[in-house]
Structure 1
Amino acid sequence: MNQTVDFPNKTNAVVSLPLRFVLIIPFVFQIFLAVGLTGLFALRNGRKAVDNLVNQLQEKVTEEVEQHIDNHLALPQQINETNASLIQRNLLDLEDRESVQRHFWNQLQIYGEYTDYIYIGYAEGGFDMATLEANDKSTIQFSETLSAGKSLIYSVDKNGYPDQYIDSYDYDSRGRPWFKGAVEKRATFWSNAYLSKQIIPNFATTVSLPVYKDNGELLGVVANDIYLTGISDFLKDLKIGKTGKLFIVENTGFLLGTSTEDPTYFRPDETAPAEQILANDSSSEWIKESTLYLESQLGDLNRIKVPQRFQWQFAGETYFLLVTPIRNEQGLNWSVISLIPRSDFMAEIEANTRQTIILCVASLFIATVSGILTARWISKSVKLVSTTAKDLSEGNLDVKVPTQSLQELDILAQSFNAMSHQLKASFNSLELANLELENRVQERTIELEKEKERSEQLLRNVLPETIAEQLKENQDAIAEHYDEVTILFADIVGFTSLAERLAPLELVNLLNQIFSQFDSLVESLGLEKIKTIGDAYMVAAGLPMHREDHVQVIAQMGLAMLDIIESYRRENNSDLQIRIGMNTGMVVAGVIGTKKFIYDLWGDTVNVASRMESSGEAGRIHVTQAVYEKLQDIYHLELRGLVEIKGKGEMQTYWLLEKKSVEI
C-alpha cells in the first residue's frame, strides 16, 4: 500500500543549522568553559588556602611569643611580691638593714641568671640594694640613713656581708621613675626598657611595687631589674614558615628584639655608650619600612587594642603582616609584629597552576579534533536515516531502514520498521511502566525514610538531643541560661613542636587515639562534649540537663584524662603531656546561625576555665576558688596561691590532686 504524506509549506523562514555545527560548537564551548573555570577556581582556592594557613601560622607563633613573654616577666613580679609580703608580715625587718641587704644578696644567688639588681627605696629617699656586677662580683649599696643623701658601695664576702669600701655617691630614690611610677599607680609598675652599660649591652626593664602599712602609710618601693635577653634569644629560635620574620617594638617606638640578627642598638663610636634604635629608623629595611607602613595605616601603634592584619607590598613581594598588642595595667606596652611572604607558600601552587593550564590547553585541542571527527561520523549516519524516513513519509512503505553502527540510530531505524507493532503494544507497555513507577516510588520513599533517620542520628551526634529536637521544630537561634555548669579545658603541651616532628597523618592519628578515649569517658560519665579546636578539648557538665554532681563528675573526668595520658606515655615511651583547667559557674549555651550548626557556651565562666588551662602546668589540673569550695570535702586539693590571670588580675587558684579515700 502506497500512501503519500503531505508536508506543510514553510511560510516563515527558519534558520537551519548543520548537525555537524550543532554537535561541535557546544561541545568545544563546554570543554573550554570547564577548563577555564577549573584553572581559575584552583588558583583562587589555592590563594585562599594559603591566606588561611598563613593566618593560623602567625596566630600560633604570636601566641607562643606572648606565652614566653608572660612566663619570662612573671619572675620579677614574684620577687617583688615575695619581698613585699615578707615586709608586711614583719618577716623582713626594715629597721635591720643589714638583714635586708643580705636577704637581697641571697635572692641574687638564686635569680642571678635573670636579674642583677634587687633593692628597696624608702619613703624618706634612702635605699638598700644588692647587685651582681658584670665580673660576677657582688656589691651592697645603701644610703647612710633612711633619708636621701650620701650612699655607700661595698664589696661583699662569700656570706653576703659588706667587706671593703669602694665608693660613695648622692642618691634620692624618690626621684627615680621606678619609685614615682609605683607610688602613682599604687601597684606593680613596669618601666620602659633600657640598655645596660656592659661591653655587650643587654635590654632590661625595672619592675617595682609599693609597700604600705596597714594604715596606708608608704614604707617604700621594692624593685628589681630583669634582663630581656632571653626574649631575643627565643625570637631567634622561632621558625616562621620558610623566611618569615618577627620583631617587638616598645610604646616608645624603640626595638626590643627581632627573630633575625639585625641590630637593636648602635654606638656612635667605640667609646660611646650604646643607644636604642627606633623601629622606623632601623638600618634593616624590612623593619623600617613595615613600621612606617603600620604607622601610616594605624597612626600610632599604641592605639591598637586587638590584633590587626594587613597585606603589604615590599621589594616586589606580598607580605602577610600581623601586629599584636601586649598590654597590662602596670605599664607594659609592647607590640609584636610578624611578616610572612606569600611566596613561601605560593611558589609551588603557581607552578602547578602553570602545568594545569598547559595540560588544559592540550586537552582542549585534542577534544576539539576528536569532536570534529565524531560529528562527521554521526552526521553521516543521521543523514542516511533521515533520507529513508523521508521515503517512508512519501508512502514508500516497502523501504527498510538499514542497520546502523550507532546504537541510538539503530534503535531509530528499528522504530521505523516496527512502528505499527510498537503502537499496538504501547498500551501494555504503558501499564507495566506505571506499575514499575509505583514500585520505584515506594522504594524511593523507604530510602528517603532511612536517609532521614541517618540525618537525625548525625544531628544528635553533633548537638545534644534536646537541642536537636528544638532545632527541628524551630531553626531560630537557641540560647538558654544555666546557673550551675562546670567546664573543663584540656590542651596538649608542646603541640607545635610535636607537629613539627610528626607527619600530618601521624599527628591526626595520635589526636584521634587520645580524643577517642576522652569521648568514651564523656559518654560513660554522661557529660556533654562541646568541641575540639586543634589540640584543645572542651567538655561540660550540668547542661543541657541539670545535674547536682556536675563539679564532681568533671573532676573525675579530669583525673581520668591524666590517667589516659600517663598510660599513653608508658606504652609509647613518649613525653606527651596535657594541661587541664576547670571552672564552675553561670553560662549561656545554645546554637546560633543558620549554617554548620554547633552547640557552644559563652560567659565569663568559660573564659576563666580557659585561662585556668593556659596558666596551668603540664600534667596537672588547675582549678578556681569556686571549684575548690565544691570539692574540698571530697577531693584532695593543693593551694597554688595568687596567680595573675590574663584579663582577670590576681586569682586564688588550686591544684586538684585526687579523690579522698572513704573512711569506714
Structure 2
Amino acid sequence: MQNSPLRLAFTVPVLVQLVAVVGLVGYLSFRNGQQAVQVLASQLRSEVSARIQGELESYFGDPHAINRLNATAFSNGDLDIENATQGEHLLFQQMKIYSEIAFVYCGSARSGEFFGILRSPDTGELQLSYGNASNNFYRNYYSLDVRGNRQHFIYQADKSYDARLRPWFKAALHRETPAWTDVYIAFTTRLPNVTASLPVYDSRDRALLGVCATDVVLPEEFRTFLKELEIGQSGQAFVVDRNGNLISSSTDEPLMKGTEEAPQFLQAINSRNPLVQESAAYLSKHFGSFDKIQGNQQLTFALNGDQQFLEVLPFNDGFGLDWLIVVVVPESDYMGQILWNTRITIVLCVLALAIALGVGILLARRVTAPILKLNTAVKEIAQGDWNQRVQVSRADEVGELAKSVNTMATQIQQAFVQLENQRNAFSRFFPPEYLHFLDKHSVTDIELGDHISKDMAVMFSDIRGFTRLAEKMAPQEAFDFINDYLQRISPQIRAHKGFVVKFLGDGVMAIFPETVENAIDAAIAQFQQVQDYNQQRRRDQDFEAIEIGIGLHVGHVMAGMVGEHDRIQPDAVSDAVNLAARLEGLSKVYGAALVISESVRRRLVNRDRYQLRFLDQVIVKGRTKSIAIYEVLDAETESQRESKRRTLETFEAGIKAYSDRNLTAAKAYFEAILAEHPEDMTAQLYEQRVSLLLEQGLPKNWDGAWTFEQKR
C-alpha cells in the first residue's frame, strides 16, 4: 500500500485489525461463556445436592435417638408394653419435643403386644394406642391430657394387630441393629411412612424383649423445601429410593398413584414432568439400575436436542436409609443470555466498523500531527506514570482520542487501586500467618499441593447441643449467632501463635506449629470468651448458656492446600488430626471442657503450670492402641474447677483402685465423689462402669482401657 492514498493506507489496516480482534474476542467470549456455564452448573448442582443432603440428615437423625431412649425404658420396665399400664407420659413428652415425628411405639416379642403414642393425621392431637390380650389385640385409642395421661376411650381398631408381623419389627430383627424400613403406607394414617426401629434385648441374658420404633411421615415441608430451591430457571430436584420410587420432588405432581385403598408409589421414570422422567430413565440406562449408583456423579445428557446437566448423590445414614438425590439443570437456562449477548456483540461490531471507517477518513487528515503527543503520553502511562495526561487542545476526533487516553489512564489507575484492595480482601481467605507458614509471599504464589509437614498441636472445638439451639432460631439468626461466636474465639487462636485451618459450621479446626502450651492457652482463652459471652447474653429474654468442648493432640501433621485446580482451600491431614477430633467428641462423654492426650502432657515444659486430672485410658474408633487422656481444669468454670479440685484426691484413689481391679473400693470412692459433687460426669461414668463390671465380671485380659466403638 505504498502508493495508496494516506487516507486509505491509514483506514484499511485499522479496519482489518478491528474485524480480526472483535471477531476473535466475540468467539472467545462465547467459548468462555460456555465454559463458565459448565462450571456454574457444576457448582450449582453440588450446592443444591449438599443442601438437600443436609436437610435429609437433619430430618432423619432424631428417630434413632428416640428409639435408644425408649429401648432403655423398655428394658428397665418403665414402659409396660405387654399390659399397657404405664409409660405413655414418656412417649408423650418425646412427641411434644419432636413435632416432625408421627408415631413413637414399641412391640413385644412375646405375643406381639403393641404400645405407642401417635399424632392424629386429622386433628394433630396426640393419642395413646395399644393392643394386647386384654382387647384381643384390637388396638384401643385414648385421648391424652396435657401431661400425657390417658383420658377418654376414642375407638377400637377393626383389625387385630400383631407387632411381630409388621415390617419395622422384622427389619430390626433382621439387622439386629438400628434399621430403617422401606417406604410404606402406614397402617393407621394411610400416608407414606418410613420407620426407624431398634431391637431391645434383656441385659441379663440377651433375650429379645421386643422392638422400639419411630414413624416419620414423608414431610410435605421437605417437598416445599425442594420447590423453593433456586435451580436455574427450570431445573428440578428429586429424591428416589433404590427401586426408583419418587420419595419427594420439586414438582407439583402427586407422589402416589392408585386408589385410596390400594395406593402405590410413583416411579420416577413414569413422572409427568419430562425433566424428572428423562433424568430417571437416563440414570437407569447409564448405570443399569439405581442400585449400581455409587458415589457422587456429575453427568450430562440430551433432552429434545438440549444438553442437561445432572448430578446424582447417594444418601445413606448408615442405618439402612439408602436414597438418591438427583439435581438436573438445563443448559438453556444459562445459554440464552450468552446467545443474546453474542447477537448484541455482532451488531456492535458492525456499528463499530462503520464508525471506524468514517473516523479513519477524517483522522487521515488531522491525526498525523498530534499522534506523536499521544504516543509519548501513552508510553509514559505504560511505564507506570498514571498521573500523565495528554495535552491536546482540539475538539475533533484527535481531541476525543486524547480525552479517551486520559480517561483510560484514570481507569487504569483506579483498576490498580481496586486490584490492591482485592489483594487485601484475599488476605481474609488466606491470612498472612498462613502465607508465612507456607513460606509464600502472596496469594498468587499459592498452588495446589503446597504443604508443610512437621509436629504440631491440633485443636478441634465445637458448640455442644448446637443443633438443638439452631432449631429455635431462624436461618439468619443462626448465621449471625455462629459468626458472632467465631469472631470471639478465632482471635484467641491467632493471639497464641496458631491459626484456623477451617471452620466446621459451629466448630473450628486449628493448628499450633510451635508449642503445646500455645494450644492450651488458646483453648483456655476461648472458654473465657464463652463465659463472657454468656454473661452478656443473660439480659436476653430467650437466653440459654452455650457450652463448648475442645480436644487437643500433638503429632506429625501435613498442613497445606487441597482441592482441585479451580478451587483450593487449606486443610490438615494425619492420624493426629483424626485423634484430636475424637478427643473433642470424648469431652462430651466425660463432661470435660478441655481434653488433652498423653502426648500433649509429655510435651509440656512445666506440667505444674496447669491443673490436670487424669480421665481414662481409651481406645477410640479406628485405633487399636489405647491412649491416656486428661482434662485441663483451668478451662472449667470456677465452681466446677473448685468442686473437681476438692475431690481430686478421692478421684485419684478411685482410679488407682479401678486400675488395680479393686472394683468394690473403686465404686465406694466414686460414690463418695458423687455425694459431694453429683455433676461430675466422669465420676458418674466410672461408677456406672464399675457397677457393670461388678455385675458381669472382668473380661479376660482386662487392662483397664475402655474401647469406644463409635465416633463421639
Match of 1:362 in 2: 351
Write the letter of the residue equivalent to 1:629. Answer: V
- CA distance in 2 between counterparts of 1:43 and 1:511 reads 41
Match of 1:279 in 2: 268
Match of 1:524 in 2: 495
Residue 189 (1) aligns with residue 212 (2):
no
Q: Aligned in 2, Cα 1:584/1:610: closer, same or farther, shift over 3 Å?
A: closer
Match of 2:252 in 1: 261
- CA distance in 1 between counterparts of 2:509 and 2:87 reads 51
- CA distance in 1 between counterparts of 2:127 and 2:206 reads 34
Give the C-alpha shift of residue 58 in structure 1.
3.1
Once the two structures are superposed, residues 267-326 of structure 1 have per-residue CA deviations (whole angstroms, 9 ceiling, x without a partner) of 34xx64322111111233222111101222232333333222223433554433222111
- CA distance in 2 between counterparts of 1:160 and 1:76 reads 24
Match of 2:114 in 1: 128
Match of 2:48 in 1: 61
Residue 630 (1) aligns with residue 603 (2):
no
Match of 1:480 in 2: 453
Work out which of the residue numbers 210, 214, 218 in structure 2 matches 1:220: 210
- CA distance in 1 between counterparts of 2:180 and 2:22 reads 61
Match of 2:289 in 1: 300
Q: For 1:15-54, what aligned pairs fall within 5 Å after superposition?
A: 26-54=13-41
- CA distance in 1 between counterparts of 2:358 and 2:537 reads 62
- CA distance in 2 between counterparts of 1:336 and 1:475 reads 30
- CA distance in 1 between counterparts of 2:3 and 2:363 reads 17
Work out which of the residue numbers 516, 521, 541 in structure 1 matches 2:511: 541
Contact 2:108 2:163 in 1 (8 A): yes
Q: Aligned in 2, Cα 1:374/1:597: closer, same or farther, shift over 3 Å?
A: same
Match of 2:557 in 1: 588
Higher relative contact order (CA closer than 8 Å, sequence separation 6+): 1
Match of 1:468 in 2: 439
Contact 2:237 2:325 in 1 (8 A): yes
- CA distance in 2 between counterparts of 1:611 and 1:360 reads 63
Match of 1:210 in 2: 199
Secondary structure of 2:110's counterpart equals coil
Q: Aligned in 2, Cα 1:57/1:102: closer, same or farther, shift over 3 Å?
A: same
Q: Aligned in 2, Cα 1:319/1:624: closer, same or farther, shift over 3 Å?
A: farther
Residue 236 (1) aligns with residue 206 (2):
no
Q: Aligned in 2, Cα 1:152/1:599: closer, same or farther, shift over 3 Å?
A: closer
Q: For 1:61-80, what aligned pairs fall within 5 Å after superposition?
A: 61-80=48-67
Q: Aligned in 2, Cα 1:532/1:549: closer, same or farther, shift over 3 Å?
A: closer
Contact 2:459 2:551 in 1 (8 A): yes
Contact 2:559 2:572 in 1 (8 A): yes
Match of 1:334 in 2: 323
- CA distance in 1 between counterparts of 2:38 and 2:634 reads 43
Contact 1:104 1:130 in 2 (8 A): no
Match of 1:397 in 2: none
- CA distance in 1 between counterparts of 2:36 and 2:549 reads 33
Secondary structure of 1:119's counterpart equals strand
Deviates more, 1:133-142 or 1:514-523: 514-523
Q: Aligned in 2, Cα 1:462/1:367: closer, same or farther, shift over 3 Å?
A: farther
Match of 2:311 in 1: 322
Secondary structure of 1:630's counterpart equals strand
Match of 2:83 in 1: 97
Contact 1:150 1:168 in 2 (8 A): no
Q: Aligned in 2, Cα 1:497/1:77: closer, same or farther, shift over 3 Å?
A: closer
Match of 1:450 in 2: none
- CA distance in 1 between counterparts of 2:150 and 2:60 reads 26
Write the letter of the residue equivalent to 2:516. Answer: R
Deviates more, 1:562-571 or 1:168-177: 562-571
Give the C-alpha shift of residue 333 in structure 1.
0.8
Q: Aligned in 2, Cα 1:124/1:556: closer, same or farther, shift over 3 Å?
A: same
Work out which of the residue numbers 533, 554, 557 in structure 1 matches 2:523: 554
- CA distance in 2 between counterparts of 1:40 and 1:657 reads 65
Secondary structure of 2:49's counterpart equals helix
Once the two structures are superposed, residues 231-272 of structure 1 have per-residue CA deviations (whole angstroms, 9 ceiling, x without a partner) of 22433343434443211111221111122311101234xx64
- CA distance in 1 between counterparts of 2:35 and 2:474 reads 23
Contact 1:326 1:335 in 2 (8 A): yes
Q: Aligned in 2, Cα 1:167/1:22: closer, same or farther, shift over 3 Å?
A: closer
Contact 1:195 1:276 in 2 (8 A): no
Give the C-alpha shift of residue 624 in structure 1.
9.4
Give the C-alpha shift of residue 193 in structure 1.
0.9
Give the C-alpha shift of residue 150 in structure 1.
4.9
Match of 1:446 in 2: none
Give the C-alpha shift of residue 59 in structure 1.
2.9
Q: Aligned in 2, Cα 1:316/1:347: closer, same or farther, shift over 3 Å?
A: same
Q: Aligned in 2, Cα 1:238/1:489: closer, same or farther, shift over 3 Å?
A: same
Write the letter of the residue equivalent to 2:272. Answer: S
- CA distance in 2 between counterparts of 1:611 and 1:288 reads 44
- CA distance in 2 between counterparts of 1:563 and 1:50 reads 48
Match of 2:637 in 1: 660
- CA distance in 2 between counterparts of 1:19 and 1:469 reads 57
Aligned-pair identity (%): 24
Could you say what the CA RMSD is over the residues aligned between the two structures, in angstroms? 5.5
Give the C-alpha shift of residue 179 in structure 1.
1.9
Give the C-alpha shift of residue 570 in structure 1.
10
Per the normalisation by structure 2, the TM-score is: 0.61
Q: Aligned in 2, Cα 1:547/1:157: closer, same or farther, shift over 3 Å?
A: closer
Secondary structure of 1:252's counterpart equals coil
Give the C-alpha shift of residue 331 in structure 1.
0.9
Give the C-alpha shift of residue 184 in structure 1.
2.3
Q: Aligned in 2, Cα 1:187/1:23: closer, same or farther, shift over 3 Å?
A: same
Q: Aligned in 2, Cα 1:313/1:106: closer, same or farther, shift over 3 Å?
A: same
Q: Aligned in 2, Cα 1:166/1:557: closer, same or farther, shift over 3 Å?
A: closer
Match of 1:602 in 2: 573
- Unaligned regions of 5+ residues in structure 1, if any? 1-14, 382-403, 412-453, 502-506, 616-620, 637-643, 645-653
- Unaligned regions of 5+ residues in structure 2, if any? 377-422, 598-609, 614-620, 622-630, 646-712
Give the C-alpha shift of residue 102 in structure 1.
3.2
Contact 1:232 1:259 in 2 (8 A): yes
Give the C-alpha shift of residue 92 in structure 1.
1.8
- Which of the two has higher C-alpha Rg? 1
Secondary structure of 1:629's counterpart equals strand
Q: Aligned in 2, Cα 1:75/1:100: closer, same or farther, shift over 3 Å?
A: farther
Per the normalisation by structure 1, the TM-score is: 0.65
Q: Aligned in 2, Cα 1:578/1:347: closer, same or farther, shift over 3 Å?
A: farther
How many aligned positions are there? 542
Contact 1:582 1:622 in 2 (8 A): no
Secondary structure of 1:99's counterpart equals coil
Q: Aligned in 2, Cα 1:461/1:26: closer, same or farther, shift over 3 Å?
A: farther
